[in-house]
Structure 1
Amino acid sequence: MFFHVQRMLNEITPDEPDPAAANALQEVLGGQFGEMRTMFQYLFQSFNFRGPTAKPFRDLLYGVGTEEIGHVELIASTIAQLVDGSPRYQGKKTDPIDQPGAGGATPLDLALDHSNIHHYLVGAQGALPVDAQGDPWTGKYVYDSGNLPLNLLYNLMLESTGRLQKCRLYEMTDNKTARSTLSYLIVRDQAHENAYAKALEALGVKWNKLLPIPKTNAERFPEVAKLVEQGLQSKQYTFSLDQLNEAGKVFQGASPSNDGTTLSTEQAPEGVPFPGIAVERPEEFGPGLDPELLALVQATAEMEIAEAGQPIWGPANGNGSGDGKGVLGKIKDAITP
């Protein structure tokens, strides 16, 4: 089973909206070598794993695959931030829908020639499960041969190629929002390269003679250099609450990157505060909850929450402590301007 912690893996640096950069990032989200592919590939290799004696290798795959879920979340949130509010629509919720935005601009005219129009037509200024060309992500990308050395070798190639693409994307934009996420993923891709390289070494495979990792020299990017100094490229997370994960039996010793660091495992990254939910976009007909919808939420919650003995509008717990608002009270506060 999996748990979701409402913290982001890495801080997304604020900057101006940039729909073109958002579309470029779609490649590392839904492209052939993107994070949706790595997420599903490693998890399916974990689900289908055979051989109890090789459990440390399965646990390593599970840890990397689970982290990739967070990478998908991070990139999707970054894309949404790059698209959100573009062009600078500065109207009010009470304005007519077709009222011009700042400077007399048509609210969504930028969608026609500066980005992927589906970010606006289909996604309402959010990420999509497609690549930079707009082609849908497909499960045909996922590779699972059932053979451990083959899977590990393929995974190493996948991480190397994905890292190479992210370095190229870094050079395509100076947008701080895009670069903050790309830099983090470049370093974590190196950590995953180390994970699969070390696993291959444990199996006696001379991977560095067969498949040299591309020398991207990504450390010349200042954001990347800062993360490398923290040793982020030499940590692997288990995401194991029961401490039964055995990936540390594989991910240990000197780093295959030959950078003088030692590999180590941790339960999970500390993360940064979750940025919150995006504001309503009336020009996208995405207003959030109106009073009628709130009434429906209330009716449903009263049936479900009451059965669990939780307060609907009253005190937060039975002894009268808390904020006194209950579940729906907090929902109402959250959506009331």
Structure 2
Amino acid sequence: MYLHTQQLINEIAVDEPDPAAANALQEGLGGQFGEMRTMMQYLFQSINFRGDAAGKPYKDLLQGIGTEEISHVELIGTTISRLLDGSPRYNGKKTDPVDEPGAGGATPLKIALDTSNIHHYLVAAQGALPVDAAGNPWSGSYVYNSGNLALDLLYNLMLESTGRLQKCRIYEMTDNKTARSTIAYLIVRDQAHENAYAKALESLGVNWGAVLPIPKTNAEQFPEVKKLLDQGLQNVQYTFGADDLSEAGKLFRGASPSDATQELRTEVMPEGFPMTISPERREEFSPGLDKDLLALIQATAEVELKDADNPKETKASKKPKETQK
């Protein structure tokens, strides 16, 4: 079973809308090497895992990373949504005056026609989509699950390395603080997952470094990334096991494959950061609750709350009049 804690796994910095950055981030969400792919690949590998008790640490490692990837999908999707939210007011330059959608007879969603992905406005009401940066839908054919543990782990290491490489490229496409806060976090967590799969391969006697050198991106040059690396976020792996039965720690321990001077450790889960609900967007008719409908919903809720607080009175009021005394 899965439990959901209403916290974001990382804090999203506040900045102005940036629809172009939002579309670049779509590659990190729904692209071939994006978070939706890693989430599905690791979960399917753990679901389909075969073997005896000796294989449990490997299954638990896949399960834990796959579960974390669910939170990454939530994080990057929320970031895209925030980069788009209110973007009809955005002019592309901080020195430009703020637009008022529809002011002076202007077309409220004109920005959708010439800025990034029109489907962000036409289909998603200024929200994220399960697509890549070119608008291609995410495909289940991306998922690799051979049934051979060594092959799967080697492929996973390659997937994390490529994902980190792409996120470094996306980082250098934008200086938007909202985008970079999430990109930096995912770069560091990709490195943690590279470490995890590298340690698992080493335990199987696979000399992964000779056949798959992890690309040197020098990501520590990015200030947001360096801050997280200094905190050691690349050396911790979460189990997300509420029952504390995960054996992933048997693999994720000892010296880090990416830096032998640092030690690896496992934890159940991070503390997280508060989540908020986006405001409605009238120019998108979203959610579009009119005053009468909203009043009806509130009145119904008040009645239901009153019934919940006074269950005996509710039962008595439902009895036929002749039986009431």
Q: Residue 278 and residue 215 in structure 1: after superposition, are their counterparts in 2 closer, same or farther (change >3 A)?
A: same
Gaps (5+ residues) in structure 1? 90-98, 303-310, 319-337
- Summarize deviations over 1:53-94 as a string: whole Å, max 9, x none: 2000000000000000000000100000001111218xxxxx
Q: Which residue of 2 aligns with 1:187?
A: 188
Alpha-carbon deviation of 1:273?
1.1
Q: Is the 8 A contact 2:88 2:101 kept in 1?
A: no
Alpha-carbon deviation of 1:106?
2.4
For the pair 1:313 / 2:314, whether they are aligned, the reply is no
Summarize the alignment of residues 112-151 of structure 1 with structure 2, pairs less than 5 Å apart.
112-151=113-152
Identity level (%) = 71
TM-score (structure 1 length as normaliser): 0.84
User: Could you tell me how far apart the structure 2 residues matched to 1:261 and 1:10 are?
Assistant: 23
One-letter identity of the residue aligned with 1:186: I
Gaps (5+ residues) in structure 2? 91-99, 311-325
One-letter identity of the residue aligned with 1:231: G
User: Could you tell me how far apart the structure 2 residues matched to 1:212 and 1:11 are?
Assistant: 31
For the pair 1:263 / 2:264, whether they are aligned, the reply is yes
Q: Which residue of 2 aligns with 1:244?
A: 245
Q: Which residue of 1 aligns with 2:33?
A: 33
Alpha-carbon deviation of 1:260?
1.8
RMSD value, Cα: 2.2
User: Could you tell me how far apart the structure 2 residues matched to 1:271 and 1:200 are?
Assistant: 30
Q: Which residue of 2 aligns with 1:333?
A: none
Q: Which residue of 1 aligns with 2:6?
A: 6
Alpha-carbon deviation of 1:258?
1.7
User: Could you tell me how far apart the structure 2 residues matched to 1:225 and 1:189 are?
Assistant: 14
TM-score (structure 2 length as normaliser): 0.87
User: Could you tell me how far apart the structure 2 residues matched to 1:298 and 1:242 are?
Assistant: 41
Q: Which residue of 1 aligns with 2:93?
A: none
SS in 2 for 1:312: helix
Q: Which residue of 1 aligns with 2:282?
A: 282
User: Could you tell me how far apart the structure 1 residues matched to 2:223 and 2:234 are?
Assistant: 15
Max radius of gyration: which structure? Answer: 2
SS in 2 for 1:172: coil
One-letter identity of the residue aligned with 1:44: F
Summarize the alignment of residues 289-304 of structure 1 with structure 2, pairs less than 5 Å apart.
289-290=289-290, 291-292=292-293, 295=296
Q: Residue 315 and residue 296 in structure 1: after superposition, are their counterparts in 2 closer, same or farther (change >3 A)?
A: closer
SS in 1 for 2:259: coil
Q: Residue 50 and residue 293 in structure 1: after superposition, are their counterparts in 2 closer, same or farther (change >3 A)?
A: farther
Alpha-carbon deviation of 1:101?
3.5
Q: Which residue of 2 aligns with 1:22?
A: 22
Q: Residue 19 and residue 314 in structure 1: after superposition, are their counterparts in 2 closer, same or farther (change >3 A)?
A: same
Q: Residue 315 and residue 235 in structure 1: after superposition, are their counterparts in 2 closer, same or farther (change >3 A)?
A: farther
Q: Which residue of 1 aligns with 2:155?
A: 154
Alpha-carbon deviation of 1:100?
4.7
Q: Is the 8 A contact 2:37 2:143 kept in 1?
A: yes
SS in 1 for 2:237: strand
